[in-house]
Amino acid sequence: MEHNRQQRSSYTALSRDEQCFEFENNHELASPLTKINLDQFIQDPVYLQSQETLRSLLFSTAQSTVPTRAPSPVQDGQPHTISSRGILSSRKRIEYLKNYVAEVAPWLDMFDMQRTFGIKIMDMSQNCPALFYAILALSSRQLERKNEIRDVYDSLELYQEAIRLVTPLLHARHLDALIVCVILCCLEMMSASAKDWRRHLEGCAALFDTFNINGFSGGVLQAVFWCYARMDLCGALISDGTESTLLRLEKWLPPGTHENKARKLFSEAGSNDMYANYAVYLCSKVCDLIADRTKYTELGEDNGCSTDVFAERWMRLWDDLQLWMRDRPSGICPVHEAEGEPFPRVLFVHWGAISSTQLIHTACILLLDMTPHKARLQSSSSTSKLWHAKQICGISLANPHHGCLNNALQPLWIAGRLFSHEREHSLVVKLIRSIEATTGWGTCWRICDLECTWGYI
């Protein structure tokens, strides 16, 4: 405690950004794996102008009354030759495509064992230049982030070209445009500051709403929907209880489906992937409930989330979370669990099981943070926030799949706030740093938030 007090006094004269920098360089918990990256890409005027152009296109498309066109069929065996010679050498083009297949597509496909982004969408890109350039842009941005490349960005030119090429598809309300825009949204998310996440997601949310694409649409568009939904949930988690997902949850289900039918719908899909997606849906419902309650109690919003209504929704959600854990298909269950200090090790073989289980533990912590007075829960590990927090960290420690690292950031933040021991703090910090060092996704901004919570800053 004395050490913490000395740390706090030394930071009082510093701004928050300076505090973060000071801690990164001096504190004993700091890890040499990586530093907080101040990415110049997101401050580039050309990028900012291109991003605003795309945002305007998305909203104007969403408001258009032109009928939506289905995606073009892929002409098997007859791919068009798409040249990027004006932007990339042949060597770089191959490098970015290889990186997409090996590193980036597994992130996008982590809840999809059919590997829609890695196989089907890659195949489609051979006949869709906008999609081809979006893939190259995302892959090059990931390598720039991972390798800390400064000042020269292939991704910026590729991003601009993808926007130019997707513009006529958006004007025609072609569904291929939705795929392109979700991939470009991933690029924007990779290095965006936390406060900008929802702004990047809004345009895609408007398209899904307008095009009536949901989590049960089938085929490529269903896979693209769940890729977007995970980002939407992440934005809601970042808001710390003040916002729900941008795309209303009734839009996640087929038209006319009551939320009470959701559990049956996901279960009857008969796939481990859809059961994992059910965890995304449930965690999003928790965020929705917390946001409604916050707005009702703190902002006086008349949304009907009174004490009794809140308690009823809370208990229904709590039961759904426990049933998710109890009724997991064997493919979603861990293949090995081992006790450990300070965290256990929980190993999975199904990609989607890794992140979906973390999300269920996260949702349980969020609900337990605001348990209604009338709830009567039997004491068990499931009613312990600390147990859920340790499970989250144990899952990240035991499962190296890169696609599930990015999705772990917000669960690690929510879990990390509950720890009091310096060894626990150190491991959480190293986990978060390793995510950015391994994947290139901006994650280290959450470390400063945790250090403030722990009292080091």
Question: Could you read off the pLDDT of 219-239 as tens digits, one per residue?
Answer: 999 999 999 999 999 999 999
100 part of a folded domain: yes
Question: What pLDDT score does 66 carry?
Answer: 79
- How many alpha carbons lie under 13 Å from residue 142 in its C-beta half-sphere? 29
- When mean pLDDT is compared across 167-176, 315-324, 440-449, the lowest value belongs to 440-449
Same domain, 173 and 268: no
Same domain, 183 and 306: no
State residue 70's pLDDT score.
Answer: 75
The answer to whether 284 touches 236, Cβ cutoff 8 Å, is yes
Q: Are residues 262 and 215 in the same domain?
A: no
Q: What is the pLDDT of residues 6-59, one digit of tens each?
A: 433 333 333 333 333 333 343 334 333 334 445 688 888 999 899 999 999 999
What is the structure's pLDDT at 11? 30
Q: What is the pLDDT of residues 103-122, one digit of tens each?
A: 999 989 999 999 999 999 99
Q: How far apart are CA 52 and CA 58, in angstroms?
A: 10
Looking at the structure, tell me whether residues 141 and 269 fall in a common domain. Answer: no
Residue finishing a domain among 197, 219, 241? 219
53 and 150 together in one domain? yes
Residues 336 and 450 in one domain: yes
Segment 337-347 shows an average pLDDT of 94
Q: What is the pLDDT of residue 148?
A: 85
Q: Of the given ranges (88-92, 310-314, 412-416, 425-429), which has the lowest mean pLDDT? A: 88-92
CA distance 38 to 445: 10
Within this chain, do residues 262 and 388 fall inside the same structural domain, yes or no?
yes
Using the Cα atoms of residue 101, residue 245, residue 351 and residue 346 in order, give the sign of their dihedral: positive
pLDDT, tens digit (0-9, with 9 covering 90-100), for 124-155? 999 999 999 999 999 999 999 998 887 778 99
Lowest mean pLDDT: which of 76-85, 264-273, 354-363?
76-85
329 Ramachandran zone, left/alpha/beta (phi>0; psi -120 to 50): beta
Mean pLDDT within 82-92:
77
Say whether pLDDT at 263 is over 80: yes
Q: Containing domain of residue 424, as a range?
A: 258-456
- Contacts of residue 8, Cβ cutoff 8 Å, sequence gap at least 6: 455, 456, 457
- Each residue of 398-407: pLDDT tens digit? 997 877 788 8
Residues 307 and 414 in one domain: yes
- The lowest-confidence range among 81-95, 231-245, 376-390 is 81-95
Percent of the chain with pLDDT over 90: 71
Question: How many domains in the chain?
Answer: 2
Residue 337, pLDDT > 50, answer yes
**What is the chain's Cα-based Rg?**
22
> Do the domain assignments include residue 253?
no
Structure confidence at residue 87 (pLDDT): 79
Higher pLDDT, 452 or 25: 452
* Domain-located, residue 252: no
Residue 20 within any structural domain of the chain: no
Q: Judge if 442 and 296 occupy the same domain.
A: yes
On whether both 197 and 329 belong to a single domain, the answer is no
Per-residue pLDDT tens over the stretch 288-335: 999 999 999 999 999 999 999 999 999 999 999 999 999 999 999 999
CB 47 within 8 A of CB 156: yes
Is residue 82 situated within a structural domain? Answer: no
φ and ψ at residue 151, rounded to 5 degrees: 75, -40
Alpha-carbon span 446 to 433, nearest angstrom: 10
pLDDT of residue 82: 67
Among the candidates 163, 194, 219, a domain finishes at 219
Give the model's confidence band at 190: pLDDT under 50 very low, under 70 low, under 90 confident, else very high: confident
Residue 304 is assigned to a structural domain of this protein: yes
Alpha carbons 321 and 317: distance in angstroms, whole number: 6
- pLDDT tier at 173, thresholds 50, 70, 90: very high
The residue from 191, 219, 247 where one domain ends is 219
Same domain membership, residue 437 and residue 331: yes
pLDDT band at 73 (very low <50, low <70, confident <90, very high): low
Same domain (yes/no): 191, 58 = yes
Mean pLDDT of 362-375: 94
Give the pLDDT of residue 83: 61
Q: Which long-range contacts (CB under 8 A, 24 or more apart) does 408-413 make?
A: 408/355, 408/358, 408/435, 409/234, 409/435, 409/441, 409/443, 409/446, 410/234, 410/237, 410/238, 410/362, 410/446, 411/358, 411/359, 411/361, 411/362, 412/446, 413/446, 413/449, 413/450
The pLDDT of residue 360 is above 80: yes
Mean pLDDT, the chain, whole residue set: 87
On whether the CB atoms of residues 225 and 215 are closer than 8 A, the answer is: yes
CA-wise closest residue to 142 among 94, 91, 89, 187: 187
Any domain includes 2:
no
What is the per-residue pLDDT for 406?
A: 83
Q: Is residue 128 part of a domain?
A: yes
Percent of the chain with pLDDT over 70: 88
Q: What value does the mean pLDDT take over residues 412-419?
A: 96
Q: How long a stretch of residues is the chain?
A: 457
